Structure 1
Amino acid sequence: MPAARNLDVSIYRSRLIVALVLFALSAVLATSLIVKMDRGFDFTDEAFYLMLAQRPTEYEFVLGLFSYAIRPLYLLAGESVSAFNRLGAVILAGLGASLGWAVLERLRLSWRDPDAILIVGMALLAPFFYYTYWLPTPSYNWLVLVAGWILALGLILLQSRPTVSAFIVALAIAIALFTRPLNVAAYCAIYIAGVLCAFADYRSRLAQLGRTMLFGFGLVAALAASLPLRTIARQINGYLTVFGGSHPNPFSMRDQLLDFFTEGWIWWVSGVLLLVCMLARLYERPAIGKYGALVAFSAIVLLGLSLLQRRFDPSNCHVFSVLGGGGFAMLSIACRRDASLKWIALLALIGLIPWAATLGSAGRVCFQVALFPGLSLMVLVMATVLVLPRSFGPTIVAFLGIYLAYRATAAGLASPYRLATSVDRQTISTEIGPQGALKLDERTREFVQTLQRDVASRGFCRDDLAIDLSGEVPGAVFAIGGRMPVFPWIFAGYPSSHRLAGEYLKMVGPERLRRAWLIMGTSVHSLKTEEWKGLGLDLASRSLVDNLAHPVDGSAVKLYAPIVERGPC
């Protein structure tokens, strides 16, 4: 009927306009974050990543192999910190867009379809949840995220393009090898489960796993040919000498999981509900599926209402529970529709990747998983398209995704990780590192420039030895253009810190120590002067060059000149 046709056209146009607006908002938010990636400099973690990327082969032991993976990006960025940060963000956006297009192909959506526009827009923005704490420098967590998105892409293509999927997943696992062993194991397990779900017969399953292993062996062989394996073996042996087989910050995985179950119980319960609904669909128990869908709908409503609370804390699992739990609940409803059960299972496995990305980390799961909920958002969007196609349902979910991405990144910009002020107040251009400049706040700029000026007046040359003995400001070494021998960060405040300090002194040796600039700190967690004296370090023969206030906590940071003066640069 003409009236009904006109109504359909009107609804379509409204959906299309709103979808285009939301796509534009996603692009603007992502672009604004990329633009701000020349602001701020963290003297601990960020500096640690940068110094490892600078010279990964020079250190005598390593904490993981991620430095070898991020160094090519660092060189591609011309050793500019801001360009390095932005390159990492562009790679994430590209991976998101690739996954979005793969979903369109899998669902056979036209690019003019409002649902297609929303899917691509969300895929473009979703990886930017990674910047919740505003640590924009690529690191091991960044590599875990990259590998996770590539793995998700491989799962999306598993049924339609199995050979391409095999290569993509092999690439994801190869990248994950540079992160943590548990991440590799978890990603492999997710992929194997995906193969079991996607293919009905054992011959097809074995063929797919064989293709993946073949590509994987080829990539590993290429990596082995390009990496300095003897140096890596020596560095691993150095790590074992210092820490044994334990983590520098020992943790209990059992306690982590119990804590995560307590804080993230909504995600767990939603996952169990999805499993029940899938089994009910598989074994043709419609009554169970019906009640499961009702419970899932109630869960979605309650999760939506939970967003009305004013307080926003990205580290308490709330965002992950809303997106991850909502995605599982929506997939539970999809089990009542005519959607492919295999496709639902693959989306459910993608929903496990954010949790798998946290395995092996010493921190709280809820704190870590705040970096990775982008894939949970994508599962929620795709599940909504399955349940409510050609409706305003995906539009509402896309609006929710933009809102949560904005709140999460806004929290990071307002309270960035270990910076003196908010990112918006980091506006003064300051030379840091071999190439380029970063925008800093007034206190941090004054701290950096005073160090640079005073070491230069005492004959310091770029790449001279400098050691942060406080464990609180290794970034000061990077800021003045120094080179920290043995290892770029003597972690302070860990159970293993005293042992690390003693082993560091043995490894650095008296000769290099005499030629090195030394930095001492007085903050609560720093390694104190008395502790170093107890380990045999003598500061009495050194001249004090600077006694500055740390830009973040105001504690005293002292700079000592080397005992042996060097000649002209």
Structure 2
Amino acid sequence: MERFALGACAAAAMLLLVWVLSRCRSGFDFTDEGFYLNWISSPWDYSASVSQFGFAYHPLYRLVGGDIALLRQANVLIIFASAFALCAILLHSIVAERIDGRSAPRIWIVALALVIAASSLTFFDLWLPTPGYNSLTFTSLMFAAIGVLMTSREASTLSLMGWVMIGTAGALSFLAKPTSAALLGCAVVVYLVIARKLWMRGLVISILAAAALLGVSALAIDGSIGTFVDRVLEGARIGSLLTPDQPIARMFRIDSFNFSREQRVNFALLLVVAFIATSLATRANAAARIAAALLALVFAGLSISVSGGALAPHISYEPFQPMQFWAVSLALVLFAMLSPRRSYRALSRNSLALVVFFIVLPHVYAFGTGNNYWEQAGRAGLFWLLAGLVLSMGLLAGNAAWRNVVPIAAAALLVPTGVLFAAMENPYRQAQPLRLQKTAVEIGSEKSSLLLTREAAAYIRQLRKIAAENGFKAGDPTLDLSGVSPGSVYAIGARAPGAGWLLAGYSGSNDFFNAALDRVGCEPIVASWILTERTSPNALSSDLLRRYGIDFSHDYVEVGSLRSVRSFSPREFESRLLKPVRTLDVAREACELAKRAAG
């Protein structure tokens, strides 16, 4: 019965993965995803950047031929494969060693790892499957967790690989988000100290591995380490201009959160079923084992029904939904509190260190963001689940077996199932659920095909048509003065000078705009086409272009306009596409004169 239940859970996990992969052809966010694609497609266009995710994912972008759906699917598979490797190593090191002194059959370790790894898919709770700095940060944290599990104070091959993996993870984390990298380094050292695994020679190996990878990256990106350092520092300076009223100290904050009534109900239900599953999983009698297996089958069946389209539960989108992992972990803690006192002594020092390490990692992922830390951390909630599993396996001590974990893992499957369903029904800044987006349209210079809403597809087709009929060529620079539609720039096959997204609506948007374009030569600016919106209250002013010798009313001509709708304000908007009319030499000379006059 347990084998059948585990097989059903593994099938449910794989169906969740297939479900996500199949939806990678659907939907497109014109804001964040547009920014990601502008960056990844042409990372060397930008000389100042804090995150280097564009360079990290550019080879993958070229490998898939610029196909957005394949790029998304590759991102999903990288995250899932990393989670699977982490879960397999964790289960082997903590579960297999406790089966009465014998090794667990590898097939059950693999199956359980697949089930638990499905929880990594909650990362896509906003439905932004295109890779970006967040996906690179999440992946690097999983690499770090794999590394610490492999390390020891011995010079074995496995241990050395672990130390190298930690260094690699640190370097990738820095390339993704330096703030997370700094906190990750602290978290790893604290874990190693608590677990008594700190080995100075190994730590030096990690530092050297990180330095080597960063050095190679710096040379590949900028040709010299000094220029790379300038890139990062200047990127931090320019980025800080967007929100000058928010000091660096604000990164060190404690955010609050409030579950909605629906979330509180879901949390309570999951807490109850996870506690029941945990309790049944620890009992040795046949009736309890059968009940636990049946419960796991029910959870797997629910997940399969939702991902297979047979069941459509009412789950409204809420920003804190991935935090439902805390219900599973809390159920395990409650079980621990009700367990005999002798069970507490079964927790090894390494297990306690791992619990703390895994609890902290989602906050490492979130550190430095301007969003709510709890909301952001929830997208890396897989680590909270792993903390609960480490705790429960420690408490089960010598009688732990793979069958004891199945009901717990099955209950945890309900979290990614619900989160993904809500995400696909309410994709970020999109007007319709993914299942209703069925109109195919070509996007970008690589003419990648996606399924979008009828309105979004018509908007892109018409915008591409207007551009092509007026002499636009793929790769021509285009400035998005709307401040909210970098995806439109990518959709027509243009390149975005200065920054992948010239954000509007912030107190320092104008300063950010000028600082970004000041690092670009005159030619890309004066040769740029312009996309703007008539009705956007936060659109960037055309007066900002006077700094570059551009008189908007005389130096540009409107070649077309189009109306459309979207899910965020203003919902109804009108885009205008304008073409430069001056010769390049005249425009360049005017720009250079204006810049000299501005000092």
* 8 Å contact from structure 1 (residues 155, 165) kept in 2: yes
Write out aligned runs for 1:364-513 (5 A): 364-388=372-396, 389-390=400-401, 394-435=405-446, 436-504=448-516, 506=518, 512-513=524-525
Q: Distance in 1 between matches of 2:535 and 2:328?
A: 39
1:538 alignment counterpart: 551
CA displacement at 1:322 relative to structure 2: 2.3
Q: Distance in 2 between matches of 1:484 and 1:191?
A: 38
CA displacement at 1:347 relative to structure 2: 3.1
CA displacement at 1:130 relative to structure 2: 0.8
State the one-letter code of the partner of 2:146.
Answer: L
Q: Which one of the candidate residues 561, 568, 572 is aligned to 1:554?
A: 572
1:62 alignment counterpart: 49
2:326 paired with 1:321: yes
TM-score relative to the length of structure 2: 0.77
2:137 alignment counterpart: 144
- Name whichever of 310-319 and 85-94 sits farther off: 310-319
1:94 alignment counterpart: 81
Please list every run of 5 or more consecutive structure 2 residues that lacks an aligned counterpart in the other structure: 97-102, 265-312, 585-599
- Name whichever of 95-104 and 317-326 sits farther off: 317-326
SS of match in other structure, 1:557: strand
2:288 alignment counterpart: none
Instruction: Assess, with a 3 A threshold, how the Cα gap between structure 1 residues 210 and 237 changes in structure 2: closer, same or farther.
Output: closer
SS of match in other structure, 1:75: helix
* 8 Å contact from structure 1 (residues 431, 437) kept in 2: yes
Q: Distance in 2 between matches of 1:252 and 1:321?
A: 29
Instruction: Assess, with a 3 A threshold, how the Cα gap between structure 1 residues 97 and 470 changes in structure 2: closer, same or farther.
Output: same
2:210 paired with 1:216: yes
Instruction: Assess, with a 3 A threshold, how the Cα gap between structure 1 residues 63 and 210 changes in structure 2: closer, same or farther.
Output: closer
* 8 Å contact from structure 2 (residues 38, 486) kept in 1: no
2:127 alignment counterpart: 134
1:4 alignment counterpart: none
* 8 Å contact from structure 2 (residues 44, 221) kept in 1: no
Instruction: Figure out how many residues of one structure are paired with residues of the other and give that number.
Output: 509
CA displacement at 1:381 relative to structure 2: 3.1
Write out aligned runs for 1:178-197 (5 A): 178-197=175-194
* 8 Å contact from structure 2 (residues 323, 381) kept in 1: no
Q: Distance in 1 between matches of 2:161 and 2:484?
A: 46
State the one-letter code of the partner of 2:373.
Answer: V
Q: Distance in 2 between matches of 1:322 and 1:252?
A: 33
Write out aligned runs for 1:223-238 (5 A): 223-230=217-224, 232-233=228-229, 235-236=231-232, 238=234
Q: Distance in 1 between matches of 2:47 and 2:90?
A: 45
2:168 paired with 1:171: yes
- Name whichever of 218-227 and 19-28 sits farther off: 218-227
SS of match in other structure, 1:207: helix
RMSD over aligned Cα, in angstroms?
3.3
Q: Distance in 2 between matches of 1:205 and 1:380?
A: 27
Q: Which one of the candidate residues 34, 48, 70 is aligned to 2:21?
A: 34
SS of match in other structure, 2:357: helix
* 8 Å contact from structure 1 (residues 66, 139) kept in 2: yes
2:344 alignment counterpart: 336
Q: Which one of the candidate residues 254, 264, 273 is aligned to 1:258?
A: 254
Q: Distance in 2 between matches of 1:18 and 1:432?
A: 43
CA displacement at 1:247 relative to structure 2: 6.0
Instruction: Assess, with a 3 A threshold, how the Cα gap between structure 1 residues 246 and 556 changes in structure 2: closer, same or farther.
Output: closer
SS of match in other structure, 2:380: coil
Superposed CA offset, 1:262-295 (max 9, x none): 889x9xxxxxxxxxxxxxxxxxxxxxxxxxxxxx
Q: Distance in 2 between matches of 1:221 and 1:530?
A: 40
Superposed CA offset, 1:143-193 (max 9, x none): 110011111111222349422210111111010111222211211111112
Q: Distance in 2 between matches of 1:339 and 1:107?
A: 11
Please list every run of 5 or more consecutive structure 1 residues that lacks an aligned counterpart in the other structure: 1-13, 267-307
Q: Which one of the candidate residues 58, 62, 80 is aligned to 2:67?
A: 80
Instruction: Assess, with a 3 A threshold, how the Cα gap between structure 1 residues 205 and 247 changes in structure 2: closer, same or farther.
Output: farther
Q: Distance in 2 between matches of 1:223 and 1:491?
A: 27
* 8 Å contact from structure 1 (residues 517, 562) kept in 2: yes
CA displacement at 1:464 relative to structure 2: 1.1
CA displacement at 1:330 relative to structure 2: 6.2
CA displacement at 1:22 relative to structure 2: 0.6
Q: Which one of the candidate residues 363, 368, 373 is aligned to 1:355?
A: 363
Q: Distance in 1 between matches of 2:202 and 2:518?
A: 50
SS of match in other structure, 1:396: helix
* 8 Å contact from structure 2 (residues 466, 559) kept in 1: yes
* 8 Å contact from structure 1 (residues 158, 198) kept in 2: no
* 8 Å contact from structure 1 (residues 472, 521) kept in 2: no
Instruction: Assess, with a 3 A threshold, how the Cα gap between structure 1 residues 356 and 497 changes in structure 2: closer, same or farther.
Output: same
CA displacement at 1:217 relative to structure 2: 3.3
CA displacement at 1:319 relative to structure 2: 1.9
TM-score relative to the length of structure 1: 0.80
SS of match in other structure, 2:363: helix
SS of match in other structure, 1:540: helix
Q: Distance in 1 between matches of 2:230 and 2:187?
A: 32
Instruction: Assess, with a 3 A threshold, how the Cα gap between structure 1 residues 537 and 504 changes in structure 2: closer, same or farther.
Output: farther
- Name whichever of 340-349 and 359-368 sits farther off: 340-349
Q: Distance in 2 between matches of 1:63 and 1:522?
A: 32
Q: Distance in 2 between matches of 1:256 and 1:37?
A: 35
State the one-letter code of the partner of 1:369.
Answer: A
1:15 alignment counterpart: 2
Instruction: Assess, with a 3 A threshold, how the Cα gap between structure 1 residues 137 and 324 changes in structure 2: closer, same or farther.
Output: farther
State the one-letter code of the partner of 1:315.
Answer: F
Instruction: Assess, with a 3 A threshold, how the Cα gap between structure 1 residues 312 and 512 changes in structure 2: closer, same or farther.
Output: closer
* 8 Å contact from structure 2 (residues 50, 233) kept in 1: no
SS of match in other structure, 2:131: coil
Superposed CA offset, 1:207-230 (max 9, x none): 332332233333334334433245
Q: Distance in 2 between matches of 1:404 and 1:237?
A: 39
State the one-letter code of the partner of 2:80.
Answer: A
Q: Distance in 2 between matches of 1:425 and 1:407?
A: 19
